[in-house]
């Protein structure tokens, strides 16, 4: 029997090969990128428009004389001045405090453009540009982290138009805050790009930006810690398995390095931060900028707790903003603000620990703010304010990070399509725009107070009437305008509020001296000398005693001046004048000669010697000193 194995084979259809597996197409990111760029341009325009009144501000704030008005290096722009800013590392000669060469050079370049300190438009223009760029960098950073253009836009907008960002723009001396933040934000952005692309060049660029931030303002020192916090969340590079990714909607990036490698790659940042910290401590000490006499644990704890709640309150409800927030008196739990700070901090920590079960965002945002704010948290008291809006400029990014995560959760819940905005999302956008509008109105109102110096200081006095410093600052401004009676009133108020305030005592004495109240002036000069002894205090007291006709006592004070500071030309001149009036001619001429050796263009010395030689019937020498005086006067008038 013959078998037919292929009997029905001709009726079978050939098998078709299975379809090739379709590769999943990556999402097209171009529309999101285009939207991001459009929103970025809108953000920059809005932030510039809201802060536009800053360009017309003419306020001279607390330390603006030191940074610009009386800074001879800034007002003599060139390589020599730039070199001096860079080489004066441990003890800057023109500004008291820390090493900040890039900020000083920035002001110097603005002076080169403006050519004057009478109109501050050029200086504020640069500051406004920096702030607009900072808002743009915040938006870029949030977009890189969360990849949602609308959320990034509102993060940058709410930061850029917030009233607490006003202070560094019209305050000339705070150029350092804006410049350091610009480089710090740039460092964070390039670091995030590095973690995405693993490009070592980006890592080196982020280190470069960190160095530039340190050279602008050493409060950038905590940046290495901020990078580690970003590694923990939202980058999820540090301890990526410590918490399930579903709890944070995060997945570790591909080829995530080990925790040890993530820590070791921060080593260059920490080394640079340590070097900057040492330089800062030395320079601050040399400038006598650290004024703390209380470093107990309770003092530190209460200060930190107060500031945590204080900043949180001002960020959420930015009213009654000022450039001077004095220390609570007393700094103890008997003060309501201090007690509220302690209780509020405990409750906040409890909420953060509970939230950690669901998300890392809240605790990382708070830790980010705390780490960035720690150098200015007044643990070691370096100024007479417990907090300041400018101190929160960079640290506020921590709150922006948490806010961005929160907005993103709401945004995703309202989404109905990946391609079109839902009605709920449009309503959400409208709500956020209303919040930004309220911020913008408050920002404009605050900028109004910066339009001129008197309005600014009167506003500070109104906000903190029990603080001595605003009264003193207003008095100084009135004194410069020769409104002596008003100035004396403000100085007297400052002394009443703070009896051991040597600057207020000294200026009050000057005002009383100008009013002809010599005996009262001498008494206040002596009090100022008791609280802050030094050659300047002896000089002021000696001048008052000379005005009162008490030449022997005046001479004693002038001798102390030249003993304490042998290079004081004015001390030698005043001592020489007092000795001449008492008939001690030989010693007098010796001190006149020393004064001229120290300062050959000392106008008053040439005038004094011209008068002396005229009286001595020595026309040749009298004529010489008279000609020198005329030459100096002509140079001063140019």
**Residue 80 covered by a domain:** yes
Closest CA to 612 of 628, 592, 634, 637: 592
**Residue 541 covered by a domain:** no
The pLDDT confidence band at residue 276, using thresholds 50, 70 and 90, is very high
| Residue 25 pLDDT | 43
CB 509 within 8 A of CB 529: no
What's the chain's average pLDDT? Answer: 90
**Residue 551 covered by a domain:** no
Q: Stretch 621-635: mean pLDDT, rounded?
A: 89
pLDDT beyond 70 at 29 = no
**Residue 469 covered by a domain:** no
* CA count, 13 A, side-chain hemisphere, 35: 16
| Residue 381 pLDDT | 73
More confident residue, 503 or 419: 503
Distance between CA atoms of residues 93 and 115, nearest Å: 22
CB 277 within 8 A of CB 343: no
pTM flag (> 0.85)? yes
Closest CA to 219 of 391, 396, 400, 397: 391
More confident residue, 283 or 410: 410
The pLDDT confidence band at residue 248, using thresholds 50, 70 and 90, is very low
**Residue 139 covered by a domain:** yes
Task: Express each pLDDT in 520-557 by its tens digit.
Answer: 999 999 999 999 998 989 999 999 999 999 999 999 99
The pLDDT confidence band at residue 382, using thresholds 50, 70 and 90, is confident
Q: Stretch 243-261: mean pLDDT, rounded?
A: 62
| Residue 27 pLDDT | 53
Task: Express each pLDDT in 453-499 by its tens digit.
Answer: 999 999 999 999 999 999 999 999 999 999 999 999 999 999 999 99
Task: Express each pLDDT in 199-226 by its tens digit.
Answer: 999 999 999 999 999 999 999 999 999 9
Closest CA to 544 of 563, 517, 567, 569: 517
**Residue 443 covered by a domain:** yes
The pLDDT confidence band at residue 257, using thresholds 50, 70 and 90, is confident
pLDDT beyond 90 at 400 = yes
* C-alpha separations of 312 from 93, 114, 332, 377, 517 in Å: 37, 38, 20, 14, 49
Domain ends where: 448, 477, 501?
448
| Residue 23 pLDDT | 37
**Residue 403 covered by a domain:** yes
Q: Output the DSSP codes for 58-105.
A: ----TTHIIIIIT-TTTTS-SHHHHHHHHH--SS-SSSSSS--HHHHH
Q: Is the peptide bond before 26 cis (omega within 30 degrees of 0)?
A: no
Task: Express each pLDDT in 179-188 by its tens digit.
Answer: 999 999 999 9
* C-alpha separations of 511 from 142, 334, 468 in Å: 54, 38, 17
Task: Express each pLDDT in 137-161 by its tens digit.
Answer: 999 999 999 999 999 999 999 999 9
**Residue 584 covered by a domain:** no
| Residue 24 pLDDT | 40
* C-alpha separations of 433 from 38, 154, 588 in Å: 16, 8, 74
Supply the range of the domain harboring residue 631.
600-638
Task: Express each pLDDT in 46-75 by its tens digit.
Answer: 999 999 999 999 999 999 999 999 999 999
pLDDT beyond 60 at 20 = no
Closest CA to 193 of 262, 144, 233: 144
Please give, one letter per residue, the 3-state secondary structure of 499-521: CCCHHHHHHHHHHHHHCCCHHHH
Domain ends where: 427, 448, 469?
448
For tokens 């026309």, the residue is: 619
- Angle subtended at Cα 449 by Cα 446 and Cα 454, rounded to the nearest 5 degrees: 160
- Percent of the chain at pLDDT > 70 equals 91
Count of domains forming the chain: 2
Domain ends where: 448, 476, 494?
448
- Percent of the chain at pLDDT > 90 equals 79
């Amino acid at each position: 029997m013959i078998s037919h194995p292929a009997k029905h084979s001709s009726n079978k259809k050939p098998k078709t090969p299975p379809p090739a597996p379709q590769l999943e197409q990556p999402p097209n990111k171009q529309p999101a990128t285009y939207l991001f760029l459009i929103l970025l341009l809108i953000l920059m325009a809005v932030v510039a428009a809201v802060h536009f009144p800053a360009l017309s501000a003419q306020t001279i704030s607390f330390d603006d004389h030191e940074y610009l008005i009386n800074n001879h290096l800034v007002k003599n722009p060139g390589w020599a001045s730039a070199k001096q800013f860079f080489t004066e590392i441990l003890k800057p000669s023109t500004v008291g405090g820390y090493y900040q060469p890039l900020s000083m050079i920035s002001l110097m370049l603005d002076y080169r453009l403006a050519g004057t300190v009478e109109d501050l438009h050029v200086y504020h223009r640069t500051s406004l540009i920096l702030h607009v760029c900072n808002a743009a960098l915040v938006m870029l950073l949030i977009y890189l982290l969360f990849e949602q253009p609308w959320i990034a836009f509102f993060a940058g907008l709410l930061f850029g138009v917030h009233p607490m960002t006003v202070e560094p723009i019209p305050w000339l001396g705070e150029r350092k805050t804006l410049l350091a933040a610009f480089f710090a934000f740039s460092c964070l952005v390039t670091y995030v790009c590095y973690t995405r692309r693993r490009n070592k060049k980006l890592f080196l660029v982020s280190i470069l930006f960190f160095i530039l931030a340190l050279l602008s303002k050493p409060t950038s020192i905590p940046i290495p810690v901020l990078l580690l916090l970003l590694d923990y969340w939202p980058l999820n590079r540090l301890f990526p398995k410590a918490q399930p990714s579903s709890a944070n909607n995060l997945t570790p990036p591909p080829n995530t390095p080990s925790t040890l490698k993530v820590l070791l790659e921060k080593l260059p940042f920490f080394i640079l931060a340590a070097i900057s910290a040492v330089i800062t401590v030395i320079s601050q000490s040399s400038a006598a900028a650290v004024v703390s006499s209380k470093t107990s644990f309770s003092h530190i704890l209460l200060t930190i707790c107060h500031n945590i709640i204080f900043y949180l309150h001002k960020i959420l409800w930015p009213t009654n903003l000022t450039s001077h927030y004095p220390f609570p008196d007393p700094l103890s739990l008997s003060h309501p603000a201090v007690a509220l700070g302690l209780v509020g901090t405990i409750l906040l920590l409890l909420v953060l620990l509970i939230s950690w079960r669901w998300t890392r965002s809240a605790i990382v945002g708070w830790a980010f703010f705390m780490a960035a704010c720690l150098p200015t948290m007044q643990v070691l008291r370096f100024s007479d304010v417990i907090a300041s809006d400018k101190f929160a400029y960079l640290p506020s990014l921590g709150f922006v990070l948490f806010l961005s995560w929160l907005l993103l959760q709401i945004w995703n819940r309202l989404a109905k399509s990946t391609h079109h905005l839902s009605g709920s999302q449009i309503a959400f956008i409208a709500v956020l725009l209303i919040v930004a509008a309220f911020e913008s109105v408050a920002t404009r109102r605050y900028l109004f107070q910066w339009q001129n110096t008197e309005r600014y200081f009167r506003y500070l006095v109104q906000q903190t009437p029990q603080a001595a410093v605003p009264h003193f600052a207003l008095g100084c401004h009135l004194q410069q305008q020769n409104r002596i009676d008003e100035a004396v009133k403000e100085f007297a108020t400052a002394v009443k509020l703070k009896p051991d305030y040597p600057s207020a005592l000294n200026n009050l004495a000057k005002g009383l001296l100008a009013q002809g109240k010599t005996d009262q002036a001498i008494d206040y000069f002596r009090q100022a000398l008791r609280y802050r002894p030094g050659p300047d205090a002896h000089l002021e007291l000696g001048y008052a005693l000379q005005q009162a006709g008490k030449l022997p006592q005046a001479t004693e004070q002038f001798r102390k001046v030249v003993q304490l500071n042998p290079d004081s030309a004015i001390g030698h001149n005043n001592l020489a004048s007092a000795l001449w009036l008492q008939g001690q001619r030989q010693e007098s001429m010796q001190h006149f000669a020393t004064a001229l050796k120290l300062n050959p263009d000392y106008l008053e010395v040439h005038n004094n010697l011209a008068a002396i030689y005229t009286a001595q019937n020595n026309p040749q020498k009298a004529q010489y000193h008279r000609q020198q005086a005329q030459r100096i006067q002509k140079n001063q008038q140019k």
